[in-house]
Chain A
Amino acid sequence: HSSYRQDTTPLFDTSQLSIASPCTETFNVMATGELNPNHYPARRAAQVVQHYLNTRYGSPFRLIGVQKVHSANAEDVADSGRKYQLELSVKETISNTTENCSAELFFPRGVEQHSPKVQASCEALLKIDTKAQEEALYQEYKRNQSLVSAQNLPDSHGRIAPDMEPFWQLGILASSFIMLNESNENTLYNVAQVANITQLATEDDQLKFDCHTLLHDMVSQEIIHWKLLFTWSPPEGVKVLQMEKLPHRHEQEEPPNTN
């Protein structure tokens, strides 16, 4: 089977050789200058901006998603990395409002994997008033004697109980810190599912949660499991205390007869 791994001779019918390029295409050349906003480099950069905006402006009642990239530009910065400039529109999913934003990103390059740096102006997002809902959610779960715990948000059929929706949003928000940290030009992260979110008792005025989240990376198509410990309150927003990547779930990939 190793013969299929050589780069020199692709395996086609010989009649197809004139159509296909016989050259190796390792595609390491990154697009530079004006980027096509419909192609993936701009789209991946926009996703990083989305994660940044959620960490900065997100709440259980304010969740931001990329709507469209209008224009994008990329340039190499000496040997240290690549800088992107984007004009994009984002949508807040609950109020359904759309907002134009400008953003600048820097993807550092080097031996150690560093998180991208993002700057974005999107102040109109803050004008979406969620204070009343946030306060109500906070009070309800601060006062409550039993601690909330939910699994599989959404379930296999895409369902989330209405009173669990804020916890799904919280799980996504907290995951945004991870997705932001882990992003680079070769990733595109979304939350596939919040496997478990469990409220923990606290002595202070924060609500505290233990969360198991499943991230999907579009580029590798992998599902990556993370565990997080985070707090939330209306004034403080989400603060991640601990995060831990869990090992690849090979045990779920074992053939039935070994169980």
Chain B
Amino acid sequence: MLELRQKLVKECGFSFCRHQVLRLVPKNDTHLSLIKELLVNNICLFFQLDIWRGVTDVGSPVDIRVPVHKIKLVKRYLETKNIKFSTMIKDLQVLLDKEQKVMESAAARVPDPKHTDNFDFSRYHTLSEIYSFQDMLVAENPNLVSKIVIGRSYEGRTLNVLKFSTGGTNRPAIWIDTGIHSREWVTQASGTWFAKKIVTGFRGDRALTAILNQMDIFLEIVTNPDGYAYTHTTNRLWRKTRKPNPGSRCVGVDPNRNWNARFGGPGSSSDPCSQTYSGTRPESESEVKSIVDFVNSHNIKAFISIHSYSQLLMYPYGYTSTPIKDQTELDNLARQAITDLASLYGTRYRFGSIIKTIYQASGGSIDWAYNKGIKYSYTFELRDTGRYGFILPANQIIPTAEETWLALMTIMDYTLKNPY
């Protein structure tokens, strides 16, 4: 309904006082052609009809918005043609005003938090809310957290990485990214929760403190901010970046096919309209290049990319079925991690190499990281297994983040204790 209001106001910029929306139901073919006639150009223009729901077939309703000064005329016309109608909306403006009040009160009920303790982790947040959260977390924990802007997205948004560090210089570090595919909302939401968890767990949690005493953690929560903004404003199921492709009406590159690891191979597409379009060359996307540059100038020992959905924990490769040199070790660690994950709520994960567990995919982030020498490279696919898929109910955010955190701790703890 809100989209409709925005659409109406944008187009007409005036009031819908006493405009009505009529529903016509063609009961037979005669009705159908009479209604089609009504909606044909000149008659429609004369009555100034706005078609909300068009003609399909017998039995399917047709909804038309009629401006106040044409209502009598339209109703008389329908009566003479014997077309039955019902009044779906008596006064559109009244409805729109009610809606507006509901929206305003909903916004008023939830004022912006001034402290991360008041941040609602059980809701999905907008990009600006998450970016504010990041700044607040840094301000509240200046001795542990800092924000590094590693680059800018295509549309100019900052690419923010939170650094959790107790000091030192160029310490061995863990890299975690969430939200590289923008529609996977539970991942950015979990990333936000992880950030808070690190801060509250530090000093209290022995294992976490041991990690932070020797290693840094780098967390990029919104790895694809242009895509994320787009999922809020326009298309909830958008996956890729938002860079236009020259010569194509299709936008965006799959940021997880854009890495320099058998770029352009099977399991990626050369069609800009495809959801797995790899782009024209590796690292063509600033969202990817920024991470590459960052990793190349830091001492990363574990690289973890988080996605949803399917409940999987995977290690390289995606581009080939040749096993990695460290197959046995990574497989064992994965088994332990998902056992720990399941200990909380019984959530079942499968695990294995990408290519065997889910599908062949080329140009992926963890394949690149592994080939760079980062041994502990893993990718997660979080909840669920398809019932809700990408549109996971918000009440599952915290349980998902909590259980995933256990698996992350297992991997980070192992990385600390097994330096290489």
Q: Is the CB of B249 within 8 A of A40?
A: no
B294 at the interface (CB under 8 A from A): no
Contact of B350 among A1, A38, A218 (CB under 8 A): A38
Interface residues of A in 7-37 (CB under 8 A from B): 7, 10-13, 16, 19-21, 25-27, 36
Q: Say yes or no: B237 contacts A223, CB within 8 Å.
A: yes
Residues of A within 8 A of B266 (CB): 25-27
How distant is A249 from chain B, measured CB to nearest CB, in Å? 8
What is the predominant secondary structure among interface residues of chain A facing chain B? loop
Q: Does A128 contact B (CB under 8 A)?
A: no
For B265, the closest partner residue in chain A by CB is: A10
Interface size, chain B (Cβ < 8 Å): 66
B18 part of interface (Cβ distance < 8 Å):
no
Chain B residues lying within 8 Å of A255, measured Cβ to Cβ, are 242, 244, 251
Do B352 and A11 touch across chains, with their CB atoms under 8 A apart? Answer: no
Chain A 236-252 interface residues, beta-carbon cutoff 8 Å to B: 248, 250, 252
Q: With the chains together, A40 CA to B390 CA distance in Å?
A: 19
Q: Give chain B residues whose Cβ lies under 8 Å from the Cβ of A7.
A: 265
Interface size, chain A (Cβ < 8 Å): 58
Q: How far is the CB of A122 from chain B (nearest CB, A)?
A: 18
Contact B263 A4 (CB under 8 A): yes
A47 to B249, alpha carbons, bound, how many Å?
A: 34
> Chain A: which residue is nearest B348 at the CB level?
A68
B386, CB-defined interface residue at 8 Å? yes
B197 close to chain A: CB less than 8 A: no
A39 within 8 A of B: yes
* With contact pairs A65-B386, A254-B251 given, residues A21 and B359 touching in the complex (Cβ less than 8 Å): no
Decide: A38 and B371 in contact? CB cutoff 8 A. no
B30 within 8 Å of A (CB atoms): no
Contact call B385/A210, Cβ cutoff below 8 A: no
**Min distance, Cβ B368 to any Cβ of chain A, angstroms:** 9
Does A126 belong to the interface (CB within 8 Å)? no
Instruction: Return the CB mask of A156-196 against B: 1 if under 8 Å, else 0.
Output: 11110000000000000000000000000000001111000
Check: B276 CB closer than 8 A to any chain A CB: yes
Q: Contact: B321 with A253, CB < 8 Å?
A: no
B167, CB-defined interface residue at 8 Å: no
Is B25 part of the contact surface with A, judged by Cβ < 8 Å? yes
Of A21, A252, A255, the most chain B CB neighbours within 10 A belong to A255
Stretch of B100-108, B391-399, B409-417 on the interface side: B391-399
User: Is B191 among interface residues, defined by CB-CB distance under 8 A?
Assistant: no
With the chains together, A151 CA to B232 CA distance in Å?
17
Within 8 A of A (CB), among B237-264: 237, 239, 242, 244, 249-252, 254, 260-264
> Is B281 an interface residue when CB atoms closer than 8 A count as contact?
yes
A4 to B263, CA, bound (A): 7
CB of A5 closer than 8 Å to a CB of B: yes
Q: Which B residues, 310 to 353, have Cβ-Cβ distances below 8 Å to chain A? A: 310, 319-322, 324-325, 348, 350-352
Stretch in A72-80, A105-113, A132-140, A200-208 with 4+ CB within 8 Å of B = A200-208
A193 touches B391 (CB 8 A): yes
Partner of A193, one of B237, B261, B319: B237
> Given the complex, which residues of A lie within 8 Å of B276, measured CB to CB?
220-221
Q: Which residues of A contact B352 (CB under 8 A)?
A: 38-39
**B235 CB-CB contact with A under 8 Å:** yes
Looking at the assembled complex, report how far the CB atom of A188 sits from the nearest CB atom of chain B, in whole angstroms.
8
- Measured in the bound complex, the distance between the Cα atoms of B264 and A200 in whole Å is 48
> Cβ of A47: which chain B residues have Cβ within 8 Å of it?
386
Instruction: Please state if B391 and A221 are interface contacts (CB–CB under 8 Å).
Output: no
Contact A38 to B393, CB < 8 A, known contacts A12-B371, A93-B387, A220-B276: no
Q: Of the candidates A1, A25, A36, which one forms a contact with B265 in the assembled complex, judged by CB atoms under 8 Å apart?
A: A25
Q: Are A154 and B391 in contact (CB under 8 A)?
A: yes
Mark interface residues in A47-88 (1 if CB within 8 Å of B CB, else 0): 100000000000000010111100000000000000000000
Other than A12-B261, A19-B325, A20-B320, give 6 A-B pairs with Cβ distance below 8 A: A7-B265, A20-B262, A68-B348, A159-B394, A200-B60, A222-B274
Binding site for A on B (CB under 8 A): 25, 56, 59-61, 123-124, 231-232, 234-237, 239, 242, 244, 249-252, 254, 260-266, 270, 273-276, 280-282, 310, 319-322, 324-325, 348, 350-352, 355-360, 371, 385-396
Subset of 21 A-B contacts with CB under 8 Å: A1-B280, A4-B264, A4-B280, A5-B270, A19-B371, A25-B266, A25-B319, A25-B321, A25-B360, A93-B387, A154-B388, A156-B391, A158-B394, A192-B389, A210-B56, A210-B60, A218-B310, A219-B359, A221-B239, A250-B273, A253-B273
Binding site for B on A (CB under 8 A): 1, 4-5, 7, 10-13, 16, 19-21, 25-27, 36, 38-40, 43, 47, 63, 65-68, 93, 147, 154-159, 190-193, 198, 200-202, 208, 210, 214, 216, 218-223, 248, 250, 252-255
